[in-house]
Structure 1
Amino acid sequence: MTEVEQKPLQGKRIVVTRSRSQASELCRQIEALGGVPFEFPVIRTDFPSDLQPLDRAIAQLADYDWIILTSVTGVEMFFARIEQLIGTLPAGLRAKFAAVGSKTQAALERQGVTVAVTAEEYVAEGLLRSLGDQVAPGQQVLLPRSNIARKLLPDALRERGCLVTDVDAYRTLPVVGEASELIARLAAREIDAVTFTSSSTVNNFVAALSGSDVKTLLGDVVLAAIGPVTKETAQGHGLQIELMADTYTIQGLVETLVQHFTTKR
């Protein structure tokens, strides 16, 4: 293959820290661009250990004015539990749906839901701006989210006078896997980049490498974060994030990697 024909990530070995069930999209894009993904999942998702709060919210769906989903996983777990309990969304719901990001919107639309508001930015702050004055004091808002989601969104909605039910639709759990192969590859300078798609992936990645000199192992590795919250978490661990996606999506993360390695080449 000539240099002209080379794909933009040709031969680049890139660590994917997403859960194994979520990693396929990122791995496919890396491979399509000539890269070599190294899967090192550090998180997994499951239903909450206590399902009663989620089940109560589902039983009271008719009471809500807004149902806000902040991630694809949240959509999948929320609707999976709805299917287990009542089959489908009840007919005639008055609730409007809002989503953080186009991927979450698309996941809702696959469930047959019309999305009234989608955040222009892929963070909670973006959704607040997109909602504007469409949410009113006294309205009931359901937030089915991760057990470790930030409190900014529900707190801000309560400040607007909304009655917020912030319920765990799923929990994000650490994966304790064998890190010896990754450590060996890092030590041998066989890894070009590590991708972080959430604060959880950062925290658990660092924990997985505990006992090793993480800063030395990552000294020549490009660290890429999907957005500012993830970047801030990494910096809190003393990691230097070289790349951050302009658009806080998997596609945006890949585009940032492509731009970096193309320029570097």
Structure 2
Amino acid sequence: MSQSTGCVYLIGAGCGQADLITLRGLELLRQCDAVVYDDLIADELLQAAPPQARRIYMGKRLGRHSAPQEEISQTLVELAGHGLRVARLKGGDPFVFGRGGEEALALQAAGIPFQVVPGISSSIAIPALAGIPVTHRGLSRGFHVVTAHTAQGGRDDFDRLAKLEGTLVFLMGLSHLRGIAQGLIAAGKSPQTPAAVVSGGCAPHPATVRAPLGQLAAAAEQAGVQPPAVIVVGETAALDLTSAAKRPLEGIQAAVVGTPVLQQRLHQVLTPLGARPFAVLTSQLEELPCSFDWNTLCDGTPRWVVLTSQNGVDCFFRRLNEQHIDLRRLHACRFAAIGKATAASLADHGIQADLCPPVHTTHALAQALVEAVPQGEPVYLFRSALGSPELYHRLAEHTYTEDIPLYTLRAPDGDCTSLFSQIQQSDYLVFSSASGVSFFLDTFGSIPEGPVCVCIGPVTAQALASHCKTPPLTAQDISASGIRDTILAHRTVHK
């Protein structure tokens, strides 16, 4: 084998949120040169791969055009053959009806080194998340996992399945649900047997329906359950071991347009409340060339440094570090932040904001600075090139002001149009910048009517307003927490 040959990691990505992947799987993902991924892989996992890593979608879904298994295996062989470390992200566990065995055999035959990283199978994870254990003392001493294709083999298969003790778990079977139920009943299974259909994990339309086996298909159709879904048949399906007290945003879906940092922070504040944020149009931060003389801030003259975003704070301190500037040399500078989140990010770097307006808007920040800064004292705006010109013009009328763009945002790479249907059926559509609104309109052409639009601040809301039939919600605080509080308040009123 050539020394340039790479390797493949067959990683089970778990079911649902990104943090259900194993630590080993995440670590290998962070080291890869290419990611080959399935349907329903959490976007946060794709973001965990190095920025330069190739991202190759090769999902397989019923009713959709998908790559043949042979093509997927060949792609893995070719990528590793070119010396790349390939993360093959598979939903659930690679070897539980994930066709990971076929990919492993193809890699073996080609002499490609590979490593299997087990994952949480949907056969146990999806029922568990709905409060259904596949085993339970006194009810089920074991469980059997089959696919709908296995159950379609004929009367002999149903005769065998109906006689099995314990819990039956059917994967990829929603389109055959009525036939599965009828086949089991005809083979002797009681129509009163507890059963359930669960669509969860990263499914676009999460739902849990419990009913006796004889009524399950009708109940699932009435509830509008959509694939992918897991079917559970057995006594444990009647259990509901989820918390009796539902979280305030339980089951709510929020489509998020923004940078990876904002999407991660929204995930951190929304998921503990039961919401399910997912990323769309992940805009990329691109740092810009900067001719500003950073030693200007170090001459002991009183000056103001103004920061209007957490991204701006991070870029500002990165540039200082690149210039080898000791923070103690900025002792004469005073710092202003547009809101609590930006001020908190500033504090993470060891500096407390001298000014943070009570209303976290560009207009309020401009007014607060005009009142606080003596005429003639220099002000430096370190921010995005896409920032509103209002702040600069208002300050320039009052004192010497420089607008220094440190970064810009660019539209995401790749085709995201397949997400539009999922966005339409979401509860909320979150925008974190006016540029995100532009990216969305350029990609999809219009704002869908289904979800309630939520904007991080008034500038974003102004960019969106003329494209919405109903006024968007606007966070009072320009931060992920502000967006969370806005959704919570709206949900409380419109339950």
Q: TM-score by structure 2 length?
A: 0.48
- 1:165 correspondence with 2:402: yes
Letter in 2 for 1:201: G
Deviation at 1:209, TM superposition (A): 0.9
Tell me the equivalent position of 1:106. Answer: 344
CA 185–142 in structure 1, closer or farther in 2 if over 3 Å, else same: same
Q: Distance in 2 between matches of 1:42 and 1:200?
A: 12
Tell me the equivalent position of 2:223. Answer: none
Letter in 2 for 1:135: V
Are 1:191 and 1:221, in contact at CA under 8 Å, matched by a contact in 2?
yes
- 1:88 correspondence with 2:326: yes
- 1:244 correspondence with 2:481: no
- 1:227 correspondence with 2:457: yes
Structure 1, unpaired ranges of 5+: none
Deviates more, 1:169-178 or 1:27-36: 169-178
Tell me the equivalent position of 1:195. Answer: 430
Deviation at 1:178, TM superposition (A): 2.2
Tell me the equivalent position of 1:71. Answer: 309
Deviations 1:140-178 (A, max 9, x none): 111111011111112111111x11111111112221332
Between the aligned residues of both structures, percent identity stands at: 25
Letter in 1 for 2:279: E
Are 1:100 and 1:123, in contact at CA under 8 Å, matched by a contact in 2?
yes
Superposition pairs of residues 182-221 of structure 1, within 5 angstroms: 182-186=419-423, 190-210=425-445, 214-215=446-447, 218-221=448-451
Q: Distance in 2 between matches of 1:22 and 1:178?
A: 21
Deviations 1:51-72 (A, max 9, x none): 223xx2x121135511111111
Superposition pairs of residues 28-177 of structure 1, within 5 angstroms: 28-48=268-288, 50-53=289-292, 56=293, 58-61=294-297, 62=299, 63=301, 65-91=303-329, 93-160=331-398, 162-177=399-414
How many residue pairs get aligned? The number is 253
CA 45–260 in structure 1, closer or farther in 2 if over 3 Å, else same: same
Name the SS of the counterpart of 2:422 in structure 1.
Answer: helix
Are 1:224 and 1:241, in contact at CA under 8 Å, matched by a contact in 2?
no
Deviation at 1:109, TM superposition (A): 1.8
Deviation at 1:89, TM superposition (A): 2.4
CA 138–246 in structure 1, closer or farther in 2 if over 3 Å, else same: closer
Q: Distance in 1 between matches of 2:480 and 2:380?
A: 26
Q: Distance in 2 between matches of 1:245 and 1:115?
A: 21
Are 2:461 and 2:474, in contact at CA under 8 Å, matched by a contact in 1?
yes
Q: Distance in 1 between matches of 2:369 and 2:346?
A: 17
Larger radius of gyration: 2
Structure 2, unpaired ranges of 5+: 1-239
- 1:262 correspondence with 2:492: yes
CA 178–259 in structure 1, closer or farther in 2 if over 3 Å, else same: same
Name the SS of the counterpart of 1:118 in structure 2.
Answer: coil
Letter in 1 for 2:361: V
Are 1:27 and 1:37, in contact at CA under 8 Å, matched by a contact in 2?
yes
Deviations 1:202-244 (A, max 9, x none): 111111213xxx35xx222111112222111101334533422
Are 1:141 and 1:164, in contact at CA under 8 Å, matched by a contact in 2?
yes
CA 239–60 in structure 1, closer or farther in 2 if over 3 Å, else same: farther
Q: Distance in 2 between matches of 1:227 and 1:137?
A: 29
Deviations 1:113-150 (A, max 9, x none): 23211121211211133235321221111111101111
RMSD: 2.1
Letter in 1 for 2:284: R
Letter in 2 for 1:59: N
Name the SS of the counterpart of 2:305 in structure 1.
Answer: strand
Name the SS of the counterpart of 2:278 in structure 1.
Answer: strand
Deviations 1:33-57 (A, max 9, x none): 1111111134221210x2223xx2x
Q: Distance in 1 between matches of 2:432 and 2:469?
A: 15
Are 1:42 and 1:205, in contact at CA under 8 Å, matched by a contact in 2?
no
Q: Which has the higher contact order (CA 8 A, sep 6+)?
A: 1
Deviates more, 1:175-184 or 1:193-202: 175-184
